[in-house]
Structure 1
Amino acid sequence: MDKKHILIIDDEADIRESTQMCLEIIGEWEVSVASSGYEGLIKAAEEKPDIILLDVMMPGMDGLATLQKLRENSQTAQIPIILLTAKARSSEQRQFNQLDIVAVITKPYDPYSLSDRISEFL
């Protein structure tokens, strides 16, 4: 079976590293990482991952702007996206539900159970 490929777009290095390690070891995912929305757009178009984990709060181009650009690009428009956010108020959750995403995972999350949670969404 081919490994599923996931792209993590998050500006926090420790979150990228811990998430990548858990997904590779526990979920046996192939993992790519990007530290900004801009880098994420390039990697998503080049690598066409099976799913993208996208942080909402990032400097420069935030996650929602990145999401919009991913959806506007025909090469990346169909890739399922899970938002990672520290913001979990119900008003924001409703806003996220309006977006073209498969799920919202609230930080802090348990990196050990993340692979199973992502697999549920695919």
Structure 2
Amino acid sequence: PEGALTLQLTASNSAGEGPRGELISSQPAAPAVALVIGIVFTFTIFMVIVNLVCWSCVRKWIKQKCVSWGPKWLVEKPPKPGHSTAIRLLEDDRGEPLLSSTYSDPPLSPILVISKE
């Protein structure tokens, strides 16, 4: 049968009919419409997001948002040594050897070995 059912059982034997039991209600299984709607809604939102990511302008906007929320050091560009003024000046003075220095090491002192005996 379709619809809600309500049952009430009694027991009977040779002594007669027993007391009535509790009412037991049974509801029909709810259709899975809510589940189907939820799955379709989730799938639709997912497909819209995937479609938006395929557009370059949306990718650019998402990247800007992620960069603004993240740490600054992650997106900073390190300086290029090739554009350094100091390196350019060193390259201009190629007439002098780069590793030459007027500084020289002092003479070594003699080492005394002291033994503990």
Q: TM-score, normalised by structure 2?
A: 0.17
Higher relative contact order (CA 8 A, sep 6+): 1
**Given the two structures, how large is their TM-score scaled by the length of structure 1?**
0.17
Structure of greater Rg: 2
